[in-house]
Amino acid sequence: MRNSRPCYFFILLFAILTTVCTAQKKKKKELTYKYTADNLELYNTIVGMDSIFFQAYNTCDLAKQAAIYSDNIEFYHDQGGLMTVKQEILDGTEKYICGKVTRELVKESIEVYPIKDFGAIEIGLHKFHNNTEKEGTPSHASKFIIFWKNENNKWSITKVVSLH
């Protein structure tokens, strides 16, 4: 009888560990999320506008950025606060971004949601690379939200939320 006790203990321990490991695997599977666009045409339009805007951002084409920003822009930055003057945003971009920072979109991170009688909201992840740092310096992804307004088939950015 004494010899069977350790055997039962190991069987019980094995059963508990198997249950815990299986529960952990199931929990990880529940966190998986894959976005699928409801409106592929709108999705492609917004992804295209994102590309146009951030190409201008990365090449310091302030005129193109100005043309895409709404005159009533609201730029919410978790570290910098709220900016509502278009020219101040462009001046800040010229002073702090041009030639110093490059934006990289995280592949397949964009989600686009239509907003009735307004346009769309874009949510995604991007990285910013400090061009003054050594190449290959890691950059962490951060979330962004852009409100796109469609007036007479002309898309403009009315709000940006930038979270680091």
Q: Is residue 161 within 8 Å of 76, Cβ to Cβ? A: yes
**Residues 127/104, Cβ–Cβ less than 8 Å:** yes
How many folded domains does the chain comprise? 2
pLDDT tens-digit series, residues 39-95: 999 999 999 999 999 999 999 999 999 999 999 999 999 999 999 999 999 999 999
Are 94 and 118 part of one and the same domain? yes
Same domain, residue pair 56 and 102: yes
Amino acid (one-letter) located at 22: T
Same domain for 146 and 101 = yes
- Asked if residue 65 and residue 7 are part of one domain, the reply reads no
- Both 21 and 48 in a single domain? no
Mean pLDDT of 2-21: 57
pLDDT at 33: 82
Give the pLDDT band of residue 32 (cuts 50, 70, 90): confident
Residue 102 CA to residue 97 CA, distance in Å, equals 8
Same-domain check for residues 69 and 133: yes
Is 25 found in the same domain as 50?
no
Mark whether 150 and 131 lie in a shared domain.
yes
- 64 and 129 within one domain: yes
The reply to whether 24 and 75 lie within a common domain is: no
Furthest C-alpha separation in the chain:
86
Instruction: Please give the average per-residue pLDDT across 115-119, as a whole number.
Output: 98
Q: Quick one: 45 and 21 in the same domain?
A: no
Strand partners, 41: none
Q: Are residues 75 and 16 in the same domain?
A: no
Structural domain boundaries, residue 17? 1-32
User: Which range, 12-26, 30-44, 81-95, is most confident?
Assistant: 81-95
CA separation for the pair 95, 97 (Å, rounded): 6
Residue 152 · residue 137 · CB < 8 Å: no
What is the chain's percent helix, strand, coil content, to nearest 5? 40, 30, 30
Q: Quote the pTM value.
A: 0.80
What is the reported pLDDT for 68? Answer: 98
Nearest to 91 by CA among 56, 65, 126: 65
**Confidence check: pLDDT of 156 > 70:** yes
- Between CA 26 and CA 76 the distance in angstroms is 37
CATH number, domain at 120? 3.10.450.50
